[in-house]
Amino acid sequence: MVSTSKPGGIGAIGSAASRLFHPGDKVREKYPMDAKLHCINVEITGEGLRRIKNEAKMCYLISIPEVEGECYIAKKCFRVEQGPDTPFESERAPLCRDIPRPLPHGEDRTVLFNVVHNVGNGLADEVLELRAQGLEVDDDNEPLDEGAGTPPPLEYNSPHNFTVPTQCPHCERNMIDERGKWVYHRWDEIASMTEFELFRMAFPEDFVKDVIIPRTNDNLGSPLMLGEFYKWLGCNFFMACFHGILDRKCWWSKEAISPYSGAPFRLNNAMSFTRYLEITAALRFTDVRMPMVERDGYEDRFHKVRKMIDEFNNHYAHLYHPSWLNCLDESMSSWLNILSGIHVCLPQASPVWQRVPLDC
């Protein structure tokens, strides 16, 4: 991505990599798909919103030599080398004017609004001017002497009273301290569940079936099913437990497992690497139309995950009632890493230490 060095406008001349221009079919006829090829002497003919990879982006409308028809390119990908006579209004530098605010009684004391700029290093005449206006100015920037005693206590205009609350705020609101509970499951039922059943109970599976899978299948050749989605999710969870593996290909490597390099396990039995990449590239988390400033009056930078976040919050608020005291950080758990005779191995440890058994 090349930053724009000059503002764009009609008649401006610039350049960019040929693979970044759209429509791609037109440009490829003259410039084959090669990252090293650049289009030069490209003239800007206008600006406007265009869709690039299913996203609306502000683009330059351009004319490429020896390419018929109008093309376009994202503004951030185009380098303007010869500026226009009149830049686009959206790229003109805004005029910064210091408009003085009206003062009461019609007094003209502009120094009140420019204290920071006018007072530099405690200049005597400027400090006197401020004091003449009735302002308190502290121009003593010298450090205290090493032998100086304790400074006198500050005097407050009004006394401050600090009290310790004796009434629980929850009780004041008539809130009952109940044990945390799930709405549709008893604790004895939960105790007999497997790890996967517990995960599905806490996971918004309906949102996955109604939104994520249908929208993802719009971009997949082979449809994604719920079971395969959980396999894909499990692969990500499993890889996240191990630190220091820079390349995901290591999890699908055909080389022998080594305690000194690569991944400590293989995921080929769960899913092929090609299928994993296909699902990752096609995954979508919303079925809501993306808001645009021109149409809706606002832009949501979290639009792609907004609905998923709301669904998670609504799911937990509807299915689980927490108690007053909840431990959200495992480092605050009183039982963590204090059991006698047990050696705790963190998941983020190197592959060598992850094979060390518990010393009970």
Read off the pLDDT of each residue in 59-64 and give the average, rounded to a whole number: 87
- Residues 56, 295 contacting (CB under 8 angstroms): no
Instruction: Examine the pLDDT at 106 and tell me if it is beyond 70.
Output: no
CA dist 48 → 75, 204, 289 (Å): 10, 39, 20
First-to-last alpha carbon distance for the chain, in angstroms, is 55
Out of 41, 63, 87, a domain closes at: 87
* Alpha-carbon gap, residue 287 to 285, rounded angstroms: 7
Residue 241 lies in a domain: yes
Instruction: State the residue range of the domain holding 265.
Output: 196-290+302-321
Residue 304's pLDDT band, with cuts at 50, 70 and 90, is: very high
Residue 276's pLDDT band, with cuts at 50, 70 and 90, is: very high
Read off the pLDDT of each residue in 299-318 and give the average, rounded to a whole number: 92
Greatest mean pLDDT among 4-13, 88-97, 209-218 lies in 209-218
Nearest to 42 by CA among 351, 25, 34, 22: 22
| Of the candidate ranges 117-121, 226-230, 281-285, the one whose mean pLDDT is the lowest | 117-121
Residue 220 lies in a domain: yes
Number of Cβ atoms within 10 Å of the Cβ of 290: 14
- Name the β-bridge partners of 50: 57
Question: In this prediction, what percent of the chain has a pLDDT beyond 90?
Answer: 23
Structural tokens at position 111: 């120094």
| Of the candidate ranges 4-8, 276-280, 316-320, the one whose mean pLDDT is the lowest | 4-8
| pLDDT of 341 | 45
Residue 210 lies in a domain: yes
Q: Dump the DSSP string for 290-302.
A: PP-HHHHS---TT
| pLDDT of 34 | 58
Structural tokens at position 3: 């930053």
| Of the candidate ranges 22-31, 97-106, 268-277, 309-318, the one whose mean pLDDT is the lowest | 97-106
Residue 176 lies in a domain: no
Instruction: Please indicate whether residue 167 or residue 339 has the higher confidence score (pLDDT).
Output: 167
Read off the pLDDT of each residue in 203-215 and give the average, rounded to a whole number: 94
Read off the pLDDT of each residue in 134-150 and give the average, rounded to a whole number: 69
| pLDDT of 67 | 82
Element (H, E) at 281: helix 273-282
Instruction: Please indicate whether residue 117 or residue 159 has the higher confidence score (pLDDT).
Output: 159
Q: Where are the alpha helices (DSSP H) in 53-194?
A: 115-118, 124-132, 169-172, 187-191
Q: What is the DSSP letter of 27?
A: H
- Residues 73, 16 contacting (CB under 8 angstroms): yes
Residue 51 lies in a domain: yes
pTM for the structure as a whole: 0.46
For the chain, the domain total comes to 2
- Name the β-bridge partners of 55: 52
Read off the pLDDT of each residue in 45-58 and give the average, rounded to a whole number: 82
Q: What is the mean pLDDT of the chain?
A: 77
Out of 53, 87, 121, a domain closes at: 87
Out of 87, 117, 146, a domain closes at: 87
Number of Cβ atoms within 10 Å of the Cβ of 289: 9
- Residues 308, 286 contacting (CB under 8 angstroms): yes
3-state percent helix, strand, coil for the chain, nearest multiple of 5: 35, 10, 55
Instruction: Examine the pLDDT at 105 and tell me if it is beyond 60.
Output: no
Burial (CB < 10 A; 0-12, 13-18, 19+), residue 14, is buried
Name the one residue in this structure whose structure tokens are 């090669």: 34
CA dist 323 → 203, 285, 330 (Å): 20, 31, 17
Instruction: Examine the pLDDT at 41 and tell me if it is beyond 90.
Output: no
Residue 167 lies in a domain: no
**Three-state secondary-structure class, residue 58:** strand
Name the one residue in this structure whose structure tokens are 């006698």: 340
Residue 125 lies in a domain: no
| pLDDT of 327 | 67
Q: What is the DSSP letter of 156?
A: P
Read off the pLDDT of each residue in 216-222 and give the average, rounded to a whole number: 92
CA dist 94 → 8, 86, 97, 263 (Å): 15, 14, 9, 53
Residue 160 lies in a domain: no
